[in-house]
Amino acid sequence: MRGGNTLLFVFSLLLAAAGVMLGLWYLSAAGALLAVLSGSPVVGVVLAFFLDLSFGRPVGVLHSVAFPLTLLVFFLALVRAFFIRHLRDRRLY
């Protein structure tokens, strides 16, 4: 990890911890998504899984999905890997 990515990763973990301590699920979700975008997809997916376990099953439209945040973070990790793989080979002028 580069220096900027390390700071972003630490900030994402602090954001997720603040969301858990304050009971604000959207701060925790932002922390997990930021962990994936900072270059740590495994940590982001594991963090999202534990956040899903701690906050429980959602109410409303997503009530049938057992782990919605984990699925969202996993999908974001796949999209990030796809775009990095294909954009690294191309020259953008």
For residue 2, pLDDT beyond 80? no
| CA pair distance 71, 37, nearest whole angstrom | 15
Average pLDDT of the chain is 82
> Which pLDDT tens digit goes with each residue over 62-91?
677 778 888 889 999 999 888 887 777 666
Predicted TM-score (pTM) above 0.85: no
One-letter amino acid of 3: G
Query: What pLDDT is stored for residue 1 in this prediction?
Result: 57
For residue 23, pLDDT beyond 80? yes
For residue 56, pLDDT beyond 60? yes
Query: What pLDDT is stored for residue 62 in this prediction?
Result: 67
